[in-house]
Amino acid sequence: KAGVTQTPRYLIKTRGQQVTLSCSPISGHRSVSWYQQTPGQGLQFLFEYFSETQRNKGNFPGRFSGRQFSNSRSEMNVSTLELGDSALYLCASSSDLLGSYNEQFFGPGTRLTVL
């Protein structure tokens, strides 16, 4: 099976702009989660989507939003970018099957730099 793919791999934006990141999960996985990773804060959970519905949400401002499509692909949007949004954004999919313990399969991430 192909792994989780994320596009683009690198992005440079300026403050105030918005950005959309894309994630394609492993075939058959219906749960997609997004994380922000920075050297200072580590891996922080943004939100999780399952069957096109947001199932869990972390403690991030409303500028961070996401959605999931019927084919399980997911997008994450950040509006009004701030310097502090510079980070590695990771997408992970999970089979969500009973006994899978929500094991996460991560993509390579999108490195976002805000200038």
Q: CB of 16: closest distance to other proteins in angstroms?
A: 28
21 or 92: whose CB is closer to other proteins?
Answer: 92
Q: CB of 9: closest distance to other proteins in angstroms?
A: 9
Beta 110-114 vs 10-13: how paired, if at all? parallel
| Contact present, 77 and 20 (Cβ < 8 Å) | yes
Encoded tokens for 49: 């989507």
35 or 49: whose CB is closer to other proteins?
Answer: 35
Residues that bind other proteins (CB under 8 A): 4, 35, 42-43, 45, 56, 90, 92, 101-109
- The DSSP line for 8-32 is -SEEEE-TT--EEEEEEPPTT--EE
67 or 105: whose CB is closer to other proteins?
Answer: 105
